[in-house]
Structures are given as C-alpha cells and as structure tokens.
Amino acid sequence: MKKILAILLASVMILAAFAGCKGNETPAPAPEASTAPETSTAPEASTAPEASTEPEAEEPAAEKVLHIYLSDDVPMLNGHDSVEGTLNTPHSYCSAPLYKKVPSDSLRGWDYIGVCASEMPIQIDDYNWQIKIREEACWQNGDPINADTFMYSFRMLLDPILANQMANFLADYQITILNAPEYMLQGDANTVAWEDVGIKKIDDYTIQITTVGLNTAEQVASNFLDRSVYPVYEPLYEQGMNAERTETTYGTTLDMWMGAGAYYFDQWEYDNIHVYKKNPDFWQADLYHYDQVEVRIVPEMNARVELFEQGLLDSFTPDANTIDAYIDDPRVATYMDLTVYHIDVNCKNPNNPISGNVNYRKALYHAIDREVVAEDLFGHMEPTGTYISWAAGQQGGDGTRYRETQYGLATTALVESWGPYGYNPELALEYFNKACEEEGVGKDEVIKILFTCEDTSPAYAAMGEFFQQEWPKIFEGRVEVEIVTYAGMSATAFKKTGDDKWDLSPNDWTSGTTRTYPHACFMYYLESYGSHPNNYFDKEFEAKFAELDEMKNSGADYEEILKKTQELEEHYLDVVIHIPIVQDVAYDIFNDKLILPVDEYVPSFGWGTEFGDFAE
C-alpha cells in the first residue's frame, strides 16, 4: 500500500485561561470590519504642526469569520435520534459536552479537557467512575447545567420507548455502561428498570458511571465526546414530546433547541446557511478565536470550487472530478482516513430471486475492478478488498496500523490470492452461476440490480455507470444494472421506503473506536444496532464480534484482540455482509491565512479547524 505523507501549514495556538458564565446576558454584536482605506499619518517635514498629545483612536479590529461548508443540512439538532454526521458541525461550535479534545502543545496531538465536566473522570473502584460537573456551566439563556441535566439527557437518550437511533453511543460505545444496552433495547417489556442502569446522581454536581469492563479514565471520557451524548434542554425536550412519549420535536427549529457552547446558533436558513456568533460568556471562550462562523450548505462540488476560488470558503475537499486541478498545489494536505467506501447489499428484495444467496454476494465482490474505481472514479484514492481501514488499530504507540501487523497482512494476502484487491471476473462468474443454480434462476433470465445513490454523489453515480458497462460482460448478459437516485434523504431513510426499492447502496459508515480496536468498524452491521444499513445478519459473525467486545471490556491482551480481529474479518469476507471497495485518501485545501492548531493531520482529531485562527 502506498504511504501517503501529510502536508500542512504549521502554526502555534495558545490555550488561554477559562472565563466565567454570566447568566442571562445576550451576546454583544461583533464589531463590523472597517472598510476605510489605510492612510499615512506622517506629516510632511516642512509644514508639520506641533504634534498632538491626544491618543489616536484605534481602528476596530477586523472581524474574524470562518467560512466552511456542509454538503447537506442537518435534519434536526436533536443528536439523540439522527445518524447524520452533519450534526457534528453545529454541536461542536454551539453545544457543550462533558469532555472535548483540544490541540496539544506539541502541535502533533490532542488532549482531553472537561467542558461541562470540571476534571477527568475519577476512579472509585474497578467499575465505578465519578464525573464532576463544573458549577459555572450553564445554558445560553443562563439556566444552570448540573447533574440533573445529564441524568435527564442520558435517560431520554436511552429511553426504550423513544428508541433513539444513537442510544448505543452512550450505552455501549467506547465503554459499556452496566445494564444500559439491556434497558434501551427492551421496548415496552419493563424488564430492566432505569434504576438498574449504571448512571447515578451522587449530588447536585456529580454523576457516577458504572461500567461492565475495566477501563481507563481516557476511555471513560471518550464515551462522552459524540454529539449524541451532549446535554439536551429539558423544558424544550418535554415541550416537544408527543402524548405517547414516542418522539419529540426538540431540535427541529432553533426555537425548539437550546445551545450551551462557545457560539450562539444565530441563523439557520435551511439548505442555505448557518451562522454561529461567538458567545463571550462561555466559560472557555478563550479557546476559540473566530468572531463568527458561517456554514454554507453546498451540495455541488463545482459550486464549492467557485466559492473557494472567490475566497468565500476557507477550506474544501476536492472530489474525483476536481482533485487533478489541485493535486500539486502546495496548500493541499493529504492523509489516510478511517473510511472504507463499500456497498451495502440488500438480501430481501422480493423482485430479485437470488438477493439472499451468499454466492451471489461473492460474485459481486469479485466482479469489481477496484483499481479503476479508486483511481479514475473516486480520484487518486486507494483500492481495497479488505474491510478494516489502513488508519485503524494504533494501540501499540509506535504508529503501527492493524493492516501492517501480521494479522492484517495475512488477510490482505488472502484477498490478493483471489486477484488484485479481490478482483477476479472468472471467479465472479463461477459464483454467479452457482447462485443461479441454487435459487432456480434460468439461464435465459436477466437479473435486474437496482443501484441506488443520492443525486449529489457523483463518484457513487459514476461507479453505478461503471457497473452498468462491466457487469453484463462479466456475467454474460445475465445482469442488468439500473441506477436509481434519490434526493432530500439519507441512504438509511431511503432504504426504509421498502426492500423492493434497492439492491446495492454505496456507503461509508465509520467508527472512531476503530482507531484503537479495529473490529469496531463492523458495529453498524450488527442486528442489535438500531440503524443498521443492511438487512443480512450472521449469528456466527455476531458471536465473534461479541467475543471481541468482551475482550476489549475485560482488558485482554491486545495481541490476542488483533488475532481474533483477523478471524472476524476473514469470516466477514466469507459471508460478504457488505462489499469493500475504496480506502479513502483525503485531500484537503486551506486558505493561506487560516492558521491551524496542528502541524499535521492528527488521527481521531483531524485538523482542529474549530480551534484555528487567522493571520493578522
């Protein structure tokens, strides 16, 4: 695999002292940028009058405005029940979690800090941890944030009747909280009481977390980073609750949401723009240097390029159709990401007679020329026939990734034994014929495959067109690919419209936990994951995953975990729960004046743009 070196502007950022919260005051408007031209104040030598002793009035400092973009708007601001990653942006600026990652002084890493928490988790015994809430923490309307805030927020997130899609991010993500998975999955059975869940109020500013496994303070803190576990404002959450308590309108509008972060969510024009204005009363306001953040909603890449070239965006990520214009630009920063682009396979389409057959899935796996897809369709990315990302598994401390260990290399060798990155047209046809025979599909029948993707995903659409051309050749005219595009919804939402609407769906689900525990990339494909993007489940795979999670929670030897991870990935390849295609290689380009707080891309942290600044 190619080694890709990261290139980036370097800068220094000083983390300043904390400021206090001032209650109900509204934010003062930021000063307008001066439009007056600069003029010389030096008098001519021969005619200069006597110098004035009055101090000159200072020009107001130019307002620092960060311009960034999202490809899609957020569906709502309630992080409890939306799987869309776009929520990370407004929450990172306008909300306040228990803990957050900030750039380290080394400029090459990150440190945990408490935001609503006053310090790192305090270990009481092997399984109990106390989290102290800082007493100055408050909502942006001045209402206090305390232990009751988090008890309510976490109870609602795990509520079995609300059945929130993101509940597992609290219950069983970086740590497993005692009885939390059982509580959230019970529906209306009432077999597990809330009082039995390992989340307790100790006093007005202390909560206690009881875990199933042995964990470190860093692992406990890391369970409270995701926007799904940010606090919610109880009065509005309850105001939006329906009579059956099955859903709430919390976060559907700015009037039905409350922030607590470094910026006020000042303006939300749906599908157009977000405006965040700095909150000077935030207790850690000195960590943030922009006066305002403007987030444009820009689905089209050509529009992003135009905005960037006009100076109306401070960063953007080129796609396959635009990267060639920037590939040699010194402003471009490159790194391997956790993402492995893949294809979800529908195993329940009533109109596709072989959709549930494992040999059919194997046929599709071997029918993909990943080198063409990665280089030509996705644009200078890396092909892969394995599921676990090149960036995953960095527990050892020496920078070795899972794919570079003997276990990852063994699985890679297995894939290469079939063909380059698993591509083998002859083997694909063999599996296809076997699947047709097993399912009674006649040799004169043509299988129609519905390839679905969002209408703003050009790389996905190009991949569908590539399959339209290649697969009829590989499968001797017995396969026909139809591209079905949709708009205004996520892939997950589209699939819920019916099993007969799709056969293949390109996707890119990732988990930050994978950086330490590589097997975590499979968590979204468990039957127990409420928003799973697939509809095929394998009991043996689920048991192997559960065994690895137990090893993680019990502090098992990391080498043994990696060995078991190899077994899990190879089992996954054997049943083809979904089809890996491309290892993401990110190319980011930044405004020259934007000072980033790290001098290279930091795994599990990124560029730290949130904490950046502008050169004077």
pLDDT at residue 41, rounded to an integer: 29
Q: CATH number of the domain that 110 lies in?
A: 3.40.190.10
According to the model, what pLDDT value does residue 601 have? 84
In terms of domains, do 374 and 298 share one? no
For helices 458-474 and 425-439, angle between their N-to-C axes, nearest 10 degrees: 80
Specify whether 190 is located in the same domain as 243.
Answer: yes
Lowest mean pLDDT among 186-200, 477-491, 509-523: 509-523
- Within-domain flag for 404: yes
Residue 416 is assigned to a structural domain of this protein:
yes
Whether 578 and 597 share a structural domain: no
pLDDT attached to residue 567: 97
Taking the C-alpha atoms of residue 260 and residue 70, their distance in angstroms, rounded to an integer, is: 22
Specify whether 188 is located in the same domain as 310. Answer: yes
Q: With bands split at pLDDT 50, 70 and 90, how would you rate the model's confidence at 399?
A: low
Residue 237 and residue 345 share a domain: no
Domain that holds residue 416: 335-586
Please check whether residue 499 is in contact with residue 346, taking contact to mean a CB–CB distance below 8 angstroms.
yes
**Strand pairing category for 332-345 and 273-278:** unpaired
pLDDT for res 21 = 42
Do 346 and 276 share a structural domain? no
Residue 295 lies in a domain: yes
For a pLDDT cut of 70, what percent of the chain falls above it? Answer: 89
Whether 477 is in a domain gets the answer yes
For residues 193 and 221, state if they share a domain. yes
221-271 pLDDT, tens digit each: 999 999 999 999 999 999 999 999 999 999 999 999 999 999 999 999 999
Cα–Cα distance for residue pair 493/452, rounded to 1 Å: 12
How many domains, in total, are found in the chain?
2
553 assigned to some structural domain: yes
Let me know if residue 349 belongs to a domain: yes
- Give mean pLDDT, residues 530-557: 90
Q: Quick check: 227 and 95 in contact, CB under 8 A?
A: yes
102-157, pLDDT tens digit by residue?
A: 998 877 788 999 999 999 999 999 999 999 999 999 999 999 999 999 999 999 99
Q: 588-614 as b/e, with b when 16 or more CB fall inside 10 Å?
A: bbbbeebbbbbbbbbbbbbbbbbbbbb
Unique residue bearing structure tokens 């529009």:
303
Residue-averaged pLDDT of the chain: 88
In a domain? residue 17 = no
Q: Which residues pair with 111 in a beta bridge?
A: 102
Domain match, 310 and 439 both: no
Q: Are residues 514 and 473 in the same domain?
A: yes
From residue 345, how far is each of 71, 201, 363 by CA, in Å? 25, 44, 12
> In this structure, are 279 and 397 located in the same domain?
no
Domain harbouring 492, CATH code: 3.10.105.10
Task: Give the model's pLDDT for residue 488.
Answer: 82
Q: What is the pLDDT of residue 164?
A: 96
Q: Is residue 35 included in any domain, yes or no?
A: no
pLDDT at 193 over 50: yes
In terms of domains, do 548 and 595 share one? Answer: no
Q: What is the pTM of this model?
A: 0.69
* 386 and 429 share one domain: yes
